Amino acid sequence: MITKQKGTYDVYGDLAKKRMYVNDVLNALCEKFNYGYIETPVFEASELFHRGVGDTSDIVTKETYDFKDRGERSITLRPEGTAGVVRWFVENKLYGNMTDPVKVYYNQKMYRYERPQSGRNREFTQWGFEMFGSDSVEADAEVISLAYNAYKLLGLDDVKIKLNSLGDTESRNNYREVLINYFRPRINELCEDCQNRLEKNPLRILDCKVDADSEIIKNAPKTIDYLNEESKKRFERLQELLDLMDIPFEVDTNLVRGLDYYNHTVFEVVLGDSYALGGGGRYNGLVETLGGPSVPGVGFAMGYDRTILAMEENEVHIPINDSIDLYILAVSDTEKETAAYLTQDLRLNGFIVETDLMNKGLKGQFKSVDRFNAKYLIVLNDEDLAKNEVVLKDNKTKEEERLSLTDIVDYLDTHM
């Protein structure tokens, strides 16, 4: 027997309905914020992620699915969404004559080779959005607002923003040197990954999962202490805007995010005190890194698995339709013919309708009525059909109504 690969899963039944509900909520919210939908290819040139995500990130060094295609080209399955969207932005030269920001959102499968655990799989769906063209603090606030309100609309009330600033290039470079000097004397006390990161990207040491509780990391210099005046004012202004928008936040100076392309604002949405649901920030140099001009960008991404798991653990009511509107029972050939066209007609008029396709007898079909939790049922019979009539029964009250075939739609419209 062939089974699914480790770290993947099939989506069907109630899980599929929950995911569709989340889809509907997020799609509607993005529409209100005027973000357009985008899909990018599931595989891209490996260079895109090595340059875009960063060679020092865990995603590129440990987790990407890389392979050679038949033309000996180096290909990588998409591990995150931002780099592909930036490639699209650059390839289509959307930076030309920008009078308004370009705002898009995606809802796509991602692939990372990591140890499967609760809320984290090798194949996973990520929802995210990106804004290009604006370097304003107001753009940062809008992105944070969209992320925060997405979780609120999904019923997760105890969410807040963890917020930090990495500053501009000058501030980040100064802080980088401070970190190297701080960690170097005790770097051997940290994990091998941290030792490798010291010279390449010391900020990633602060994001280490292995040594997260180490006093060395806890006592490391703070990013906000090394911001230049302009970066400091920007960060203060962002906090003022979030207060005005009534978005709860706390400053977390160890928050750097796991990807190399961030500068200035970085943030996470957390549930309770520490359960991270998603994160994002500003990446003003990424478009240029991937072959475009200097265009500012800011975005956010969240995983469906962790979000739905959090909704279930917090007993959020997720509306799932576990019933159908009508079941049509038929036995004879003429009854089945009527059932076929009547079922189609009612479906095209907006009703959820089932009929027997397994050649069951009436007893078996009545069992199907119960399994589908049908609100109404019609038992076709040739005598009624000769008069173009049916008897429609309310499966809950057991009340019956004799109707002409042409009146079924109006009746259901009135009573559903």
118, 124, 129, 299, 307 from 81: Cα distances, Å = 21, 12, 9, 10, 17
Taking the C-alpha atoms of residue 162 and residue 280, their distance in angstroms, rounded to an integer, is 11
Question: Residue 54 pLDDT > 70, yes or no?
Answer: no
Place of tokens 């739609």: 409
In terms of Cα–Cα distance, which of 257, 392, 372, 255 is closest to 321? Answer: 372
Residue 61 confidence (pLDDT) above 70: no
Q: What is the pLDDT of residue 203?
A: 79
Number of C-alpha atoms within 13 angstroms, CB side, residue 35?
A: 26
pLDDT tens readout for residues 220-233: 888 888 899 999 99
Contact of 299 with 283, CB cutoff 8 Å: yes
- pLDDT above 90: percentage of residues in the chain: 72
User: 100, 109, 141: which is closest to 19 by C-alpha?
Assistant: 109
CA distance 230 to 4: 52
User: pLDDT value at position 258?
Assistant: 56
Query: Is pLDDT above 90 for 363?
Result: yes
Q: What is the pLDDT of residue 215?
A: 78
Q: Which helix (H) or strand (E) holds 298?
A: strand 297-303
Range with lowest mean pLDDT among 32-41, 104-113, 258-267, 278-287: 258-267
Element (H, E) at 88: helix 82-91
CATH topology of domain 13-168+228-313: BirA Bifunctional Protein; domain 2 (3.30.930)
Q: Does 267 or 257 have the greater pLDDT score?
A: 267
pLDDT at residue 257 in the model: 67
Region 209-214 average pLDDT:
73
CB count in 10 Å sphere of residue 50: 18
pLDDT on residue 93 = 95
User: What's the mean pLDDT in 338-349?
Assistant: 97
Q: For the ranges 91-100, 212-221, 252-261, which has the lowest average pLDDT?
A: 252-261
Q: What would be the CATH architecture of the domain defined by 326-415? A: 3-Layer(aba) Sandwich (3.40)
Question: Locate tokens 């009511």: which residue?
Answer: 317
Which token pair is 349?
């008029």
Q: What is the average pLDDT value for the chain, to the nearest integer?
A: 91
Q: How many CB atoms lie within 10 A of CB 55?
A: 12
Q: Where in the chain are the domains?
A: 13-168+228-313, 326-415
- Rounded to whole angstroms, the Cα distance separating 64 from 67 reads 10
- Rounded distance between C-alpha atoms, residue 397 and residue 32, angstroms: 41
Assess whether pLDDT exceeds 70 at residue 120.
Answer: yes
Q: Region 312-339: what's the mean pLDDT?
A: 94
CA gap 63, 61 in Å, rounded: 6
